[in-house]
Amino acid sequence: MHDALHQLTSRIRDARRITVMTGAGVSAASGVPTFRGPGGLWRQYRPEELATAQAFARDPSLVWEWYEWRRERIASCTPNRAHEVLASWSQRSSSCRIVTQNVDDLHVRAGTRGLVRLHGSIWELSCWRRCASAPRTWRDEHVPLPERPPRCRFCDGVARPAVVWFGESLDPADVAAAHDATSCDVFLTVGTSAIVYPAAAFVHDAKQRGAFTAEINLEPTPASSVVDVAIHGPAEEILGNIEAMLGG
């Protein structure tokens, strides 16, 4: 891992444009449960079973119970070293873009600039029936929520978590911003199992566009055989080491 770390660090040092794609693994050290790793999610459900509009239509209270459990967990979590290093890179240069699949908002709380949130935020709600008077989303940080399921503030109908569920399309503006960011010198994928699309496609785009690609993850993923350098270990430690070697 040693020379891979040095190779990646020198590539980052020389890079003008850096893009980092993050997944649940960057929040694991903060205590936020990942989706598929050990100590993962809730009861006997897989995320693909609950994070869908069909599940919500069938049982909005069950789906909200899951999101309330996550909101409660996340409310007591704080950004870790991985979030802090990435936030400082984004503050140092606007050509360092952080693109996240995470909905916990820990990158936001760490002060990340220009963050692209591909899957929305667990701290935002939207109207389940998309009523005309509601904005696309609104923020609601109540833990616990006043009622389950919460009501739409604008039509008193049911509100849903303002996240992108499986089978739902991402916001085209976010996809365009993420694709734009794949034109870079270094593309780093950090803490993601690299199986959820279209997020998992961006490392391939970056490679095709000539970026030096690297992965930092606890375990091998489908991206490991695509990237130029795969470093297996904890993101909070490895990003901290890189930042130290950069003199940050």
Q: Please give the residue ranges that form the binding site for ligand BV8 (CB under 6 A).
A: 23-25, 28-29, 34-37, 47-48, 51, 101-103, 119, 163-169, 191-193, 195-197, 217-219, 221, 234-236
Tell me, what amino acid is at 154? F
For residue 37, with 0-12 CB atoms within 10 Å meaning exposed, 13-18 middle and 19 or more buried, which class applies? Answer: middle
- Cα distance between residue 99 and residue 181, in whole Å: 8
Least distance in angstroms from the C-beta of 192 to ligand BV8: 3
Residues facing residue 100 across a β-bridge: 22, 117
Least distance in angstroms from the C-beta of 30 to ligand BV8: 9
Judged by CB, which is closer to ligand BV8: 229, or 235? 235
For residue 147, with 0-12 CB atoms within 10 Å meaning exposed, 13-18 middle and 19 or more buried, which class applies? Answer: exposed
Least distance in angstroms from the C-beta of 23 to ligand BV8: 3
Q: State which H helix or E strand residue 231 sits in.
A: strand 229-232
Judged by CB, which is closer to ligand BV8: 184, or 196? 196
Catalytic, out of 6, 119, 142, 204:
119
Pick the closest to residue 33 from 69, 83, 84, 82 (CA basis).
69
Decide: helix, strand or coil at residue 213: strand
Least distance in angstroms from the C-beta of 16 to ligand BV8: 26
CA angle 121, 97, 110 (to 5 degrees): 55
Judged by CB, which is closer to ligand BV8: 17, or 232? 232
Residue with tokens 């994928």: 189
Judged by CB, which is closer to ligand BV8: 51, or 184? 51
Whether residue 6 lies in the annotated active site = no
Least distance in angstroms from the C-beta of 50 to ligand BV8: 7
- Cα distance between residue 246 and residue 28, in whole Å: 24
Judged by CB, which is closer to ligand BV8: 1, or 16? 1
Contact, 85 vs 239, CB < 8 A?
A: yes
Annotated catalytic sites, by residue? Answer: 119
